[in-house]
Amino acid sequence: MDFSRPRHIEAIVHRVRQFVDAQVIPLETDLLRTGADLSMDQLQDLRAAAKAAGLWAPTMPSEWGGMGLTIQEIVPVFEAAGRSLLGPLAMGCAAPDEGNLHLLHHWANAEQVERYLVPLARGEAFSAFSMTEPPPGAGSDPRMIQTSARHDGDAWLINGHKWLTTNGEIADFFIIMARTDMEAHPYQGCTLFIAPRDAPGINILRDVPVMGAKDFGGHVEIIYDNLRLPDSAILGEAGQGFMLAQARLGPARLTHCMRWTGIAQRALEIAAQYASEREAFGGPLAAHQSVQWMLADSAMELKMGRLLTQEAAWLLAQGEQARVETSIAKLQVSEIVCRVLDRCVQICGGRGISRDLPLSTWYEKARAFRIYDGASEVHRMVVARDVIKRYSAG
């Protein structure tokens, strides 16, 4: 691997850093101070500023106003955007829209591109990906999917119960996983449908309250009740649901790693600064070896996480599925980020717990990263299966 960074990417990273420092972090500080949630108007102002700075939709082609960057090129760009939780939202590269952009870009037909992808790419729409179901439905084990779609005349009737559908409060359309063939194995018998928000039969029960500050767009619980969709609502082909979900999830897991690495890096910088300025027991905290070790362990782990992310991104760019490498990166980075944030809160003491710094908010928000897009245990299972397959006798 070549570890050097092309000059044009270095320049973009620099501009993203400037944008996040000048436009995003002041708003983050203000929201933290007042305890208010980000409003749609504030987000649209930030998005207008990102577009004006030429920093909109890093992965989308230029004809839709994007930056046309590859999965390898976005690694440092997303990290720079991710230095604030608001950065990716401002630049059109936050989950789940960013994963849905990738999915639609590669699999939507011409009509779906016009109707769904172009408005999403331009920041004129929001989207949701609706796969997880409450027990006894599909969660860690997607084969347990219960949502069904059955042919009824010239349409499909979708019935099911989903939850934790991120962006569900604001999404203009939902990408829904449903079982279309009860006889086939779920991996071959499921299909993705795109449903506009106003389609009759999408009943949003509630925004599920989650740990920490409210996430923009929420995580909703939905009943799909005789949701009637035409054949043209199918993304890809009937039976391709899991193949497409996997194609979406691989890069989406890595982009989570990139963004969260930005948060953890900023946390480390905040903690190092506090440790250098705060005095205790006759000198700065940074003079105490146990504090130095917390900083050193965090810096080393972040470097390892970055390298794992870069390697998996490089493999994806070569056209590999990189299933195991993506699992390793997602598992390691999610756990590293939580450990780094924990140490940074510890170093900053009472100020780390207070809302005067963003650390406590990030600490709460990062916890879910070890669960969504595959819990750590599931990724360990993927890695273990690979090890056993490679090295078992015979």
Positions that interact with ligand FAD (CB under 6 A)? 96, 129-132, 139-140, 164-166, 210, 219, 368, 371-373, 375, 377-378, 381
Residue 61 tokens, joined:
């082609």
What minimum distance in Å lies between the beta carbon of 162 and ligand FAD? 7
**d(Cα 352, Cα 338) in Å, to the nearest integer?**
14
Residue 118 tokens, joined:
């172009």
What minimum distance in Å lies between the beta carbon of 166 and ligand FAD? 3
**d(Cα 229, Cα 196) in Å, to the nearest integer?**
10
In the complex, residue closest to ligand FAD by CB: 139
What minimum distance in Å lies between the beta carbon of 368 and ligand FAD? 4
Residue 58 tokens, joined:
């890093």
Torsion of the alpha carbons at 132, 97, 243 and 60, rounded to the nearest 10: -170
Residue 394 tokens, joined:
């015979």
Compute the C-alpha angle 87/92/97, nearest 5°.
115
What minimum distance in Å lies between the beta carbon of 370 and ligand FAD? 8
State which residue, 27 or 210, has the beta carbon closest to ligand FAD.
210
**d(Cα 341, Cα 357) in Å, to the nearest integer?**
12
Start-to-end CA distance of the chain, whole Å, equals: 33
State which residue, 253 or 306, has the beta carbon closest to ligand FAD.
253
Angstrom distances, CA of residue 3 to CA of 197, 265, 378: 44, 19, 30
What minimum distance in Å lies between the beta carbon of 375 and ligand FAD? 3
State which residue, 23 or 191, has the beta carbon closest to ligand FAD.
191
Alpha helices in 241-375 (DSSP H): 241-277, 289-317, 323-353, 359-366
What minimum distance in Å lies between the beta carbon of 374 and ligand FAD? 6
Residue type, 126: F
Please answer whether residues 176 and 138 qualify as being in contact, where contact means their C-beta atoms are separated by less than 8 angstroms.
no
What minimum distance in Å lies between the beta carbon of 89 and ligand FAD? 15
Please answer whether residues 369 and 256 qualify as being in contact, where contact means their C-beta atoms are separated by less than 8 angstroms.
yes
What minimum distance in Å lies between the beta carbon of 169 and ligand FAD? 12
What minimum distance in Å lies between the beta carbon of 168 and ligand FAD? 8
What minimum distance in Å lies between the beta carbon of 300 and ligand FAD? 26
**d(Cα 312, Cα 256) in Å, to the nearest integer?**
13
Residue 18 tokens, joined:
């400037």
Please answer whether residues 381 and 388 qualify as being in contact, where contact means their C-beta atoms are separated by less than 8 angstroms.
no
State which residue, 147 or 261, has the beta carbon closest to ligand FAD.
147
Alpha helices in 213-240 (DSSP H): none
Q: Which of these, 374, 383, 370, lies nearest to 132 by C-alpha position?
A: 374
**d(Cα 110, Cα 45) in Å, to the nearest integer?**
31
Question: Residue 165 belongs to what H/E stretch?
Answer: strand 155-166
Backbone angles phi, psi at 102, to 5 degrees: -60, -45
251: which DSSP letter? H
State which residue, 131 or 347, has the beta carbon closest to ligand FAD.
131
